[in-house]
Amino acid sequence: MTYLVKPKLLRADAPRNALGYTRRDYEGAISTLCAGCGHDSISAAVVQACFDLDIEPHRVAKLSGIGCSSKTPDYFLGNSHGFNTTHGRMPSVLTGAALANRDLIYMGVSGDGDSASIGIGQFAHAMRRGVNMTYIVENNGVYGLTKGQFSATADKGSKSKRGVVNSDTPIDLAALALQLGASYVGRSFSGDKEQLIPLIKGALRHRGPAFIDVISPCVTFNNHAGSTKSYDYVREHNEAVNRLDFILPRDKIEASYPAGSLRRIVQHDGSILHLRKLDADYDPSDRVGAMNYLQERQALGEIVTGLLYVDSGAVDLHRHLNTVEKPLNQLGDAYLCPGSKALEALNAALR
């Protein structure tokens, strides 16, 4: 843990994005997490992704629940909106916020305890409803903040620091998200930013519920031999199905790929996902195939990572509900409350 505030001194040639910001402008308060916690790497990846996408910090709303993972929004995007809900309740608060103001970019940040244990119901419904958001679970298989009890994502047979073996069946949040209708589903590892950053970028520019399960080792309570969420274990069992390059419409595409090795997906806003196939047969547009693949590989002990599924034509909650386009706070009183005459007319129409 560091008490110091990061010095502001910068190299003269520190890169600036289209808004004139440096990466440092996307940071938040100094982290109070344990030194070496995977969650800090995810924060760094979010910073990089937002910097690369020239996102205006004040256009982002970051919401989280309770847990070490849910503390992280304090450590990135210090100039964005934030909301710490009660434990496991982030999805419904986020849904409400998104309904009230569709102009913001919504980022839900949660833990495996927050989303798979106490908040599993909330998680499920936010996915089902098609809320337009980027939902990141920082998954360490334990309740880090309360000192390392197994969470609902802990693998059967995984050993706790004190030697207890977990006997419950794990919840695979990525598989659940697929089943529940998320239109962008990925899995990654906090220790692999090359994979994680483009996944976050693609999610931020996706319309619809984008879910990323990020395995993020808890160095303090779940990074020992016998754990299936340690740095070493994840590195050994990580099997990526593809590698994503995220390309903004304005970017020139320079890389060339051997025929058949690339899948090109254009999202609703013109941004392009270049998927370099690592598994030639894997089809990220096949929801059922993806679910099967995850099950099969999981059974072999592999941790499947990459962009598992994407539906670039997906529509979201606002389309489903046919909501008004303007954020509610920009609608005048007269519009929000049309008066008793209008109410009478409405009632009459329903009689």
Ligand X SMILES: Cc1ncc(C[n+]2csc(CCOP(=O)(O)OP(=O)(O)O)c2C)c(N)n1
Q: Which residues are near Mg ion by CB under 5 A?
A: 111-113, 140, 144
Say if strands 209-215 and 184-189 run parallel, antiparallel, or are unpaired.
parallel
Task: Tell me which H or E stretch contains 238.
Answer: strand 238-240
For residues 138 and 42, the answer to whether their CB atoms sit within 8 Å is yes
What DSSP character marks residue 117? Answer: I
Q: Which of 68, 290, 291, 304 binds ligand X (CB under 6 A)?
A: 68
* Structural element, H or E, at residue 184: strand 184-189
Piece of 53-61, 92-100, 138-146, 197-205 that binds ligand SF4 (CB under 6 A): 138-146
Of residues 24 and 268, the one with the C-beta less far from another protein:
24
8 Å CB contact between 126 and 94: yes
When the beta carbons of 52 and 172 are compared against ligand X, the nearer one is: 172
221's contact among ligand SF4, another protein, ligand X, none, with CB below 5 to 8 A by partner kind, is ligand SF4
Closer residue to Mg ion, CB minimum distance, 28 or 111:
111
- The pair phi, psi for residue 52, each rounded to 5°, is -60, -35
What number of other Cβ atoms are within 10 A of residue 159's Cβ? Answer: 18
By CB under 6 A, residue 151 contacts ligand X: yes
Look at residue 219 and give the partner it binds from ligand X, ligand SF4, Mg ion, none, a contact being a CB closer than 5 to 8 Å depending on partner kind: ligand SF4
Closest to 213 measured CA to CA, from 162, 240, 177 = 177
- Identify which of residues 144 and 306 has a Cβ nearer to ligand SF4 in the complex: 144
When binding is defined by CB under 8 A, the residue of 235, 264, 319, 320 that contacts another protein is 235
Handedness of CA 41, 301, 246, 69 (dihedral sign): negative
Please choose which of ligand SF4, Mg ion, ligand X, none residue 87 contacts, taking the beta carbon within 5 to 8 angstroms, the exact cut-off set by kind.
ligand X
In SS3 terms, 261-295 reads as: CEEEEECCCCCEEEEEECCCCCCCCCHHHHHHHHH
Among positions 83-112, residues that touch ligand X (CB under 6 A) are 87, 111-112
Among 73, 111, 148, 217, interactor with another protein by CB under 8 A:
217
Please state at what angle helix 38-52 crosses helix 193-204, rounded to 10 degrees.
50
Q: In angstroms, rounded to a whole number, what is the distance separating the alpha carbons of residues 143 and 150? A: 6
Residue 310 in contact with ligand SF4, rule: CB under 6 A: no
Stretch that binds ligand SF4, among 167-175, 193-201, 215-223, 252-260 (CB under 6 A): 215-223
Confirm or reject binding of residue 44 to another protein (CB under 8 A).
yes
Binding site for ligand SF4 (CB under 6 A): 33-34, 37, 39, 68, 140, 144-145, 218-221
Binding site for ligand X (CB under 6 A): 66-69, 87, 111-114, 118, 138, 140, 142-146, 151
